[in-house]
Chain A
Amino acid sequence: MTLDSVLQAIEPVLRTTALGAWVRHSQWAWPILESLHFIGMSLLIGTIGLFDLRLLGFARGIPYGALHRLIPLGIAGYTLNIATGFCFLSGTPDQYLFNAAFRFKMTFMLVAGLNVVFFYTRVFRRLEALPPDSAPPFGARVAGAVSLAMWIGVMSAGRLLTFFRPPYA
Protein backbone atom coordinates (compact mmCIF):
# COMPACT_ATOMS: atom_id res chain seq x y z
CA MET A 1 0.00 0.00 0.00
CA THR A 2 1.64 3.22 -1.15
CA LEU A 3 1.01 6.77 0.04
CA ASP A 4 -0.53 7.62 -3.34
CA SER A 5 -2.99 4.71 -3.17
CA VAL A 6 -4.12 5.79 0.30
CA LEU A 7 -4.54 9.37 -0.93
CA GLN A 8 -6.43 8.11 -4.03
CA ALA A 9 -8.91 6.49 -1.66
CA ILE A 10 -9.28 9.60 0.53
CA GLU A 11 -9.66 12.05 -2.36
CA PRO A 12 -13.27 11.24 -3.41
CA VAL A 13 -14.37 11.04 0.23
CA LEU A 14 -13.26 14.63 0.88
CA ARG A 15 -14.48 15.93 -2.48
CA THR A 16 -18.02 14.59 -2.07
CA THR A 17 -18.62 16.08 1.38
CA ALA A 18 -21.17 18.90 1.69
CA LEU A 19 -18.30 21.12 2.81
CA GLY A 20 -16.30 20.31 -0.34
CA ALA A 21 -19.27 21.02 -2.59
CA TRP A 22 -19.97 24.33 -0.86
CA VAL A 23 -16.36 25.50 -1.17
CA ARG A 24 -16.31 24.56 -4.88
CA HIS A 25 -19.62 26.05 -5.89
CA SER A 26 -20.03 29.16 -3.75
CA GLN A 27 -18.80 32.24 -5.58
CA TRP A 28 -17.37 33.94 -2.48
CA ALA A 29 -16.38 31.00 -0.27
CA TRP A 30 -12.87 30.68 -1.66
CA PRO A 31 -11.84 34.38 -1.53
CA ILE A 32 -13.30 34.79 1.97
CA LEU A 33 -11.63 31.62 3.25
CA GLU A 34 -8.33 32.78 1.74
CA SER A 35 -8.60 36.16 3.47
CA LEU A 36 -9.25 34.38 6.79
CA HIS A 37 -6.29 32.06 6.10
CA PHE A 38 -3.99 35.10 5.68
CA ILE A 39 -5.42 36.76 8.82
CA GLY A 40 -4.78 33.54 10.79
CA MET A 41 -1.24 33.49 9.39
CA SER A 42 -0.67 37.05 10.66
CA LEU A 43 -1.93 36.10 14.14
CA LEU A 44 0.45 33.12 14.20
CA ILE A 45 3.53 35.04 13.02
CA GLY A 46 2.71 38.07 15.18
CA THR A 47 2.83 35.93 18.33
CA ILE A 48 4.76 32.70 17.71
CA GLY A 49 7.09 34.37 15.19
CA LEU A 50 7.89 37.27 17.55
CA PHE A 51 8.42 34.80 20.43
CA ASP A 52 10.81 32.79 18.20
CA LEU A 53 12.81 35.98 17.59
CA ARG A 54 12.92 36.52 21.36
CA LEU A 55 14.28 32.96 21.76
CA LEU A 56 17.02 33.88 19.27
CA GLY A 57 18.09 36.81 21.47
CA PHE A 58 16.13 39.57 19.72
CA ALA A 59 14.21 42.12 21.87
CA ARG A 60 16.19 41.11 24.94
CA GLY A 61 14.72 42.55 28.14
CA ILE A 62 11.16 41.36 27.51
CA PRO A 63 10.59 38.55 30.07
CA TYR A 64 10.05 35.20 28.31
CA GLY A 65 7.06 34.20 30.44
CA ALA A 66 5.33 37.56 29.95
CA LEU A 67 5.78 37.53 26.17
CA HIS A 68 4.63 33.91 26.06
CA ARG A 69 1.12 35.05 27.13
CA LEU A 70 0.61 36.27 23.54
CA ILE A 71 0.78 32.66 22.33
CA PRO A 72 -2.96 31.84 22.79
CA LEU A 73 -3.64 34.39 20.02
CA GLY A 74 -1.23 32.44 17.81
CA ILE A 75 -3.01 29.20 18.65
CA ALA A 76 -6.27 30.91 17.65
CA GLY A 77 -4.67 31.80 14.29
CA TYR A 78 -3.37 28.25 13.90
CA THR A 79 -6.84 26.82 14.62
CA LEU A 80 -8.45 29.24 12.14
CA ASN A 81 -5.94 28.11 9.51
CA ILE A 82 -6.46 24.41 10.17
CA ALA A 83 -10.20 25.01 9.71
CA THR A 84 -9.90 27.16 6.56
CA GLY A 85 -7.15 24.87 5.22
CA PHE A 86 -9.43 21.86 5.63
CA CYS A 87 -12.08 23.74 3.61
CA PHE A 88 -9.60 24.24 0.71
CA LEU A 89 -8.55 20.60 0.93
CA SER A 90 -12.17 19.42 0.85
CA GLY A 91 -12.99 21.73 -2.07
CA THR A 92 -10.35 20.42 -4.48
CA PRO A 93 -8.54 17.55 -2.68
CA ASP A 94 -6.68 16.30 -5.78
CA GLN A 95 -5.02 19.73 -6.14
CA TYR A 96 -3.36 19.31 -2.73
CA LEU A 97 -2.93 15.59 -2.10
CA PHE A 98 -0.88 15.08 -5.27
CA ASN A 99 1.02 18.38 -5.05
CA ALA A 100 4.72 18.43 -4.06
CA ALA A 101 4.43 21.90 -2.47
CA PHE A 102 1.57 20.66 -0.25
CA ARG A 103 3.66 17.71 0.92
CA PHE A 104 6.52 20.09 1.79
CA LYS A 105 4.06 22.32 3.64
CA MET A 106 2.70 19.41 5.70
CA THR A 107 6.24 18.19 6.45
CA PHE A 108 7.25 21.66 7.69
CA MET A 109 4.13 21.74 9.90
CA LEU A 110 5.00 18.31 11.31
CA VAL A 111 8.55 19.43 12.17
CA ALA A 112 7.14 22.64 13.72
CA GLY A 113 4.82 20.44 15.81
CA LEU A 114 7.66 18.19 17.01
CA ASN A 115 9.62 21.35 17.84
CA VAL A 116 6.70 22.51 20.03
CA VAL A 117 6.99 19.24 21.99
CA PHE A 118 10.77 19.73 22.31
CA PHE A 119 10.30 23.33 23.45
CA TYR A 120 7.72 22.62 26.16
CA THR A 121 9.38 19.45 27.49
CA ARG A 122 13.02 20.57 27.42
CA VAL A 123 13.29 24.37 27.24
CA PHE A 124 10.37 26.42 28.52
CA ARG A 125 10.41 25.72 32.28
CA ARG A 126 14.10 26.59 32.65
CA LEU A 127 13.55 29.68 30.49
CA GLU A 128 10.92 31.20 32.78
CA ALA A 129 13.41 31.26 35.67
CA LEU A 130 15.98 33.27 33.69
CA PRO A 131 16.36 37.04 34.13
CA PRO A 132 14.94 38.89 31.09
CA ASP A 133 18.31 40.37 30.11
CA SER A 134 20.24 37.08 30.04
CA ALA A 135 21.35 35.48 26.80
CA PRO A 136 18.94 32.75 25.63
CA PRO A 137 20.30 29.24 26.32
CA PHE A 138 21.33 27.03 23.39
CA GLY A 139 18.14 24.93 23.49
CA ALA A 140 15.99 28.05 23.28
CA ARG A 141 17.93 29.29 20.26
CA VAL A 142 17.50 25.93 18.54
CA ALA A 143 13.74 25.88 19.24
CA GLY A 144 13.36 29.48 18.05
CA ALA A 145 15.38 28.94 14.87
CA VAL A 146 13.56 25.71 13.96
CA SER A 147 10.13 27.26 14.59
CA LEU A 148 10.88 30.41 12.58
CA ALA A 149 12.40 28.43 9.70
CA MET A 150 9.46 26.00 9.61
CA TRP A 151 6.76 28.69 9.63
CA ILE A 152 8.54 30.66 6.89
CA GLY A 153 8.78 27.33 5.04
CA VAL A 154 5.04 26.73 5.57
CA MET A 155 4.21 30.18 4.14
CA SER A 156 6.58 29.72 1.20
CA ALA A 157 5.34 26.22 0.32
CA GLY A 158 1.77 27.50 0.71
CA ARG A 159 2.45 30.23 -1.84
CA LEU A 160 4.01 27.68 -4.21
CA LEU A 161 0.92 25.42 -4.16
CA THR A 162 -0.56 26.95 -7.31
CA PHE A 163 2.68 26.38 -9.25
CA PHE A 164 2.75 22.64 -8.48
CA ARG A 165 -0.91 21.83 -9.14
CA PRO A 166 -1.49 18.51 -10.86
CA PRO A 167 -3.62 18.84 -14.03
CA TYR A 168 -7.34 19.02 -13.26
CA ALA A 169 -8.95 15.59 -13.62
Chain B
Amino acid sequence: MTALSTWLRESPSLWAFPFVLILHTVGLAFLVGANVALDARVLGLAADVPPTTLRRYDVIMWAGFWVNALSGVLLLIAYPTKALTNPLFYGKLLLIALGLVLAQALRRQLRDAGPMSPLARRMAIASLVIWAAGITAGRLLAYTYSRLTVDLVG
Protein backbone atom coordinates (compact mmCIF):
# COMPACT_ATOMS: atom_id res chain seq x y z
CA MET B 1 0.00 0.00 0.00
CA THR B 2 2.82 2.38 0.90
CA ALA B 3 4.67 1.45 -2.30
CA LEU B 4 1.53 2.12 -4.35
CA SER B 5 1.03 5.43 -2.55
CA THR B 6 4.60 6.50 -3.24
CA TRP B 7 4.43 5.40 -6.89
CA LEU B 8 1.16 7.26 -7.49
CA ARG B 9 2.59 10.42 -5.91
CA GLU B 10 6.16 10.41 -7.11
CA SER B 11 6.28 8.52 -10.41
CA PRO B 12 7.04 10.91 -13.27
CA SER B 13 4.90 8.68 -15.54
CA LEU B 14 1.71 10.20 -16.92
CA TRP B 15 0.15 6.77 -16.23
CA ALA B 16 0.49 7.33 -12.46
CA PHE B 17 -1.21 10.32 -10.79
CA PRO B 18 -2.20 12.19 -14.00
CA PHE B 19 -4.00 9.16 -15.47
CA VAL B 20 -5.93 8.56 -12.25
CA LEU B 21 -7.00 12.23 -12.31
CA ILE B 22 -8.18 11.83 -15.93
CA LEU B 23 -10.23 8.75 -14.99
CA HIS B 24 -11.77 10.63 -12.06
CA THR B 25 -12.74 13.55 -14.33
CA VAL B 26 -14.16 11.51 -17.22
CA GLY B 27 -16.04 9.28 -14.74
CA LEU B 28 -17.49 12.40 -13.10
CA ALA B 29 -18.70 13.73 -16.45
CA PHE B 30 -20.61 10.53 -17.26
CA LEU B 31 -21.95 9.95 -13.71
CA VAL B 32 -23.23 13.50 -13.32
CA GLY B 33 -24.03 13.87 -17.04
CA ALA B 34 -26.39 10.87 -17.11
CA ASN B 35 -28.17 12.31 -14.06
CA VAL B 36 -28.36 15.78 -15.61
CA ALA B 37 -30.02 14.32 -18.74
CA LEU B 38 -32.67 12.47 -16.72
CA ASP B 39 -33.27 15.44 -14.39
CA ALA B 40 -33.64 17.77 -17.38
CA ARG B 41 -36.16 15.39 -18.99
CA VAL B 42 -38.19 15.23 -15.75
CA LEU B 43 -38.21 19.04 -15.69
CA GLY B 44 -39.67 19.16 -19.20
CA LEU B 45 -36.73 19.35 -21.62
CA ALA B 46 -36.86 16.94 -24.62
CA ALA B 47 -40.50 16.18 -23.83
CA ASP B 48 -40.76 13.69 -26.75
CA VAL B 49 -38.28 11.31 -25.08
CA PRO B 50 -40.23 8.71 -23.06
CA PRO B 51 -38.66 9.15 -19.59
CA THR B 52 -38.22 5.44 -18.86
CA THR B 53 -36.17 4.98 -22.07
CA LEU B 54 -33.49 7.24 -20.58
CA ARG B 55 -32.86 4.45 -18.06
CA ARG B 56 -30.89 2.77 -20.86
CA TYR B 57 -28.15 5.20 -19.82
CA ASP B 58 -28.20 3.97 -16.19
CA VAL B 59 -25.36 1.59 -17.04
CA ILE B 60 -23.30 4.61 -18.18
CA MET B 61 -24.06 6.38 -14.91
CA TRP B 62 -22.98 3.33 -12.87
CA ALA B 63 -19.87 2.84 -15.01
CA GLY B 64 -18.97 6.46 -14.22
CA PHE B 65 -19.65 5.84 -10.54
CA TRP B 66 -17.45 2.73 -10.31
CA VAL B 67 -14.61 4.31 -12.30
CA ASN B 68 -14.74 7.16 -9.78
CA ALA B 69 -15.02 4.96 -6.73
CA LEU B 70 -11.87 3.13 -7.88
CA SER B 71 -9.93 6.20 -9.04
CA GLY B 72 -11.08 8.01 -5.89
CA VAL B 73 -9.62 5.25 -3.70
CA LEU B 74 -6.34 5.55 -5.65
CA LEU B 75 -6.29 9.34 -5.13
CA LEU B 76 -6.93 8.71 -1.44
CA ILE B 77 -4.07 6.20 -1.31
CA ALA B 78 -1.79 8.77 -2.96
CA TYR B 79 -2.65 11.58 -0.51
CA PRO B 80 -4.53 10.05 2.45
CA THR B 81 -3.76 12.86 4.91
CA LYS B 82 -4.76 15.59 2.47
CA ALA B 83 -8.35 14.33 2.13
CA LEU B 84 -8.95 12.72 5.53
CA THR B 85 -8.01 15.86 7.48
CA ASN B 86 -10.37 18.02 5.42
CA PRO B 87 -14.00 18.16 6.66
CA LEU B 88 -15.05 19.08 3.12
CA PHE B 89 -14.03 15.58 1.95
CA TYR B 90 -16.68 14.01 4.18
CA GLY B 91 -19.19 16.57 2.90
CA LYS B 92 -18.38 15.49 -0.65
CA LEU B 93 -18.91 11.79 0.20
CA LEU B 94 -22.23 12.65 1.85
CA LEU B 95 -23.38 14.60 -1.24
CA ILE B 96 -22.45 11.66 -3.53
CA ALA B 97 -24.41 9.26 -1.30
CA LEU B 98 -27.42 11.62 -1.32
CA GLY B 99 -27.16 12.04 -5.09
CA LEU B 100 -27.15 8.27 -5.66
CA VAL B 101 -30.08 7.61 -3.28
CA LEU B 102 -32.04 10.39 -4.99
CA ALA B 103 -31.13 9.04 -8.45
CA GLN B 104 -32.57 5.66 -7.51
CA ALA B 105 -35.72 7.15 -5.95
CA LEU B 106 -36.34 9.43 -8.94
CA ARG B 107 -35.99 6.52 -11.37
CA ARG B 108 -38.77 4.70 -9.50
CA GLN B 109 -41.05 7.74 -10.05
CA LEU B 110 -40.72 7.71 -13.85
CA ARG B 111 -43.91 7.20 -15.90
CA ASP B 112 -44.12 7.48 -19.67
CA ALA B 113 -47.81 8.52 -19.64
CA GLY B 114 -49.06 11.81 -18.21
CA PRO B 115 -47.19 14.74 -16.68
CA MET B 116 -44.39 14.34 -14.14
CA SER B 117 -45.51 14.42 -10.51
CA PRO B 118 -44.59 17.50 -8.45
CA LEU B 119 -42.54 15.13 -6.26
CA ALA B 120 -40.51 13.91 -9.25
CA ARG B 121 -39.87 17.51 -10.32
CA ARG B 122 -38.69 18.48 -6.84
CA MET B 123 -36.42 15.43 -6.78
CA ALA B 124 -34.92 16.41 -10.16
CA ILE B 125 -34.18 19.94 -8.90
CA ALA B 126 -32.65 18.55 -5.69
CA SER B 127 -30.54 16.14 -7.78
CA LEU B 128 -29.13 18.97 -9.93
CA VAL B 129 -28.32 21.03 -6.83
CA ILE B 130 -26.68 18.08 -5.04
CA TRP B 131 -24.45 17.11 -8.00
CA ALA B 132 -23.40 20.74 -8.53
CA ALA B 133 -22.57 20.97 -4.81
CA GLY B 134 -20.68 17.65 -4.95
CA ILE B 135 -18.57 18.88 -7.88
CA THR B 136 -17.87 22.16 -6.07
CA ALA B 137 -16.87 20.33 -2.88
CA GLY B 138 -14.55 18.10 -4.91
CA ARG B 139 -12.89 21.03 -6.69
CA LEU B 140 -12.45 22.93 -3.43
CA LEU B 141 -10.53 19.98 -1.93
CA ALA B 142 -7.53 21.19 -3.95
CA TYR B 143 -7.68 24.60 -2.23
CA THR B 144 -8.84 23.96 1.32
CA TYR B 145 -6.57 21.20 2.63
CA SER B 146 -4.56 21.93 5.77
CA ARG B 147 -2.04 19.06 5.51
CA LEU B 148 -0.78 17.62 2.21
CA THR B 149 1.08 14.70 3.82
CA VAL B 150 1.91 13.81 7.42
CA ASP B 151 5.63 14.49 6.89
CA LEU B 152 5.09 18.03 5.67
CA VAL B 153 3.18 19.35 8.69
CA GLY B 154 4.35 22.76 9.70
From residue 40 to 85 of chain A, which have CB atoms closer than 8 A to chain B? 41-47, 49-50, 53, 58-59, 61-63, 65-70, 72-73
Interfacial chain A residues near B35, Cβ < 8 Å: 46
Nearest residue (CB) in A for B33 is A46
The answer to whether the Cβ of A35 comes within 8 Å of any Cβ in the partner chain is yes
Interfacial chain A residues near B50, Cβ < 8 Å: 62
Distance in angstroms from A147 CB to nearest chain B CB is 13
Given contacts A58-B56, A69-B46, A69-B49, contact A163 B18 (CB under 8 A): yes
Partner of A159, one of B18, B48, B135, B143: B18
Q: Give CA–CA (A156, B45) in the complex, Å.
A: 29
Interfacial chain A residues near B56, Cβ < 8 Å: 58-59, 61-62
Residues in B lying within 8 Å of A, measured CB to CB: 14, 18, 21-22, 25-26, 28-30, 32-37, 40-41, 45-50, 53-54, 56-57, 60, 131-132, 135-136, 138-140, 142-143
Interfacial chain A residues near B139, Cβ < 8 Å: 31, 34-35, 38
Nearest residue (CB) in B for A27 is B143
Q: Give CA–CA (A73, B30) in the complex, Å.
A: 15
